[in-house]
């Protein structure tokens, strides 16, 4: 078994542009409430990511993922890995309706689909209260999870982007709001052979129902989420 402290010694490097900087924006000449009726923009976040593994253990991982370190491995060879797979492309559009309400659509991809292949991160349409499509589910608290830290963050947590229909509203108090969501059932967990005999495989026939409630203040926020 390797010494755990030696496993965690790796030099990491990361250089990014401003998060999804807008390089192309098109808007209509017509306006409602001093806002263009239609506005669309293309953003790009370029990120150079890499690591130099001093004592081995990252097992040719594409990033410095603490949860993937094999503490029982015998690979002591050093290695270097550099890529741009974490770069993101984001296309965002806004549509202002006649009543002044705004519809927003987002399509976002990165290159984390394996060997630099493109992967769909987000694709959704949202209004004041409704959101339909794929983005972070209710268990993913975006305020705690910087967009650039998805790949190297803490070794545990529920961070899924699921297809869903979500409703958001407040309790007539801007500090309190709740979210109810019907989400596509997705199995995403690590399998352990010793538990397999105790866990029977099954197919889910109904969507997941999640409920979240949050309170925001100047000092921060608290959030509770439940799955039904």
pLDDT digits 0-9 by tens, 77-119: 888 888 899 899 999 999 999 998 999 999 999 998 988 999 9
Of 25-29, 30-34, 81-85, 194-198, the range with the lowest mean pLDDT is 194-198
Residue 194, in any domain of the structure: yes
Neighbours of 181 (CB within 10 A): 21
pLDDT band, very low/low/confident/very high, at 17 (cuts 50, 70, 90): very low
Residue 170, in any domain of the structure: yes
Residue 20, in any domain of the structure: no
Residue 227, in any domain of the structure: yes
pLDDT of residue 175: 93
Range of the domain at 214: 129-228
User: How many separate domains does the chain show?
Assistant: 1
Are 112 and 151 in contact by the 8 Å Cβ rule? The answer is yes
Q: What residue has token string 């991982």? A: 61
DSSP state string for 54-116? SS--STT-SS--GGG--TT------EEEEE-TT-EEEEEEEEE-TTS-EEEEEEEEES-SSTT
Residue 141, in any domain of the structure: yes
Calculate mean pLDDT across residues 43-49.
86
pLDDT of residue 190: 62
């Amino acid at each position: 078994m390797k010494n755990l402290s030696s496993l965690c010694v790796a030099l990491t490097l990361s250089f990014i542009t401003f998060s999804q900087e807008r390089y192309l924006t098109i808007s209509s000449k017509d306006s409602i409430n001093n806002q263009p009726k239609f506005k669309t923009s293309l953003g790009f976040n370029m990120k150079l990511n890499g690591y130099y593994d001093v004592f081995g253990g990252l097992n040719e991982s594409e990033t410095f993922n603490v949860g993937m370190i094999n503490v029982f491995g015998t690979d002591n060879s050093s290695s270097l890995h550099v890529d741009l797979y974490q770069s993101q492309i984001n296309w965002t559009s806004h549509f202002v309706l006649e009543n002044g309400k705004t519809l927003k659509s987002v399509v976002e991809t990165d290159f984390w689909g394996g060997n630099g292949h493109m992967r769909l991160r987000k694709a959704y349409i949202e209004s004041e209260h409704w959101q339909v499509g794929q983005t972070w589910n209710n268990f993913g608290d975006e305020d705690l999870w910087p967009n650039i830290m998805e790949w190297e963050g803490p070794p545990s947590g529920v961070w899924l982007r699921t297809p869903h229909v979500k409703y958001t509203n407040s309790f007539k108090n801007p500090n309190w709001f709740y979210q109810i969501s019907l989400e596509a059932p997705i199995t995403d967990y690590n399998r352990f052979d010793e538990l397999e005999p105790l866990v029977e495989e099954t197919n889910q026939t109904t969507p997941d129902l999640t409920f979240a409630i949050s309170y925001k203040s100047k000092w921060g926020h608290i959030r509770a989420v439940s799955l039904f």
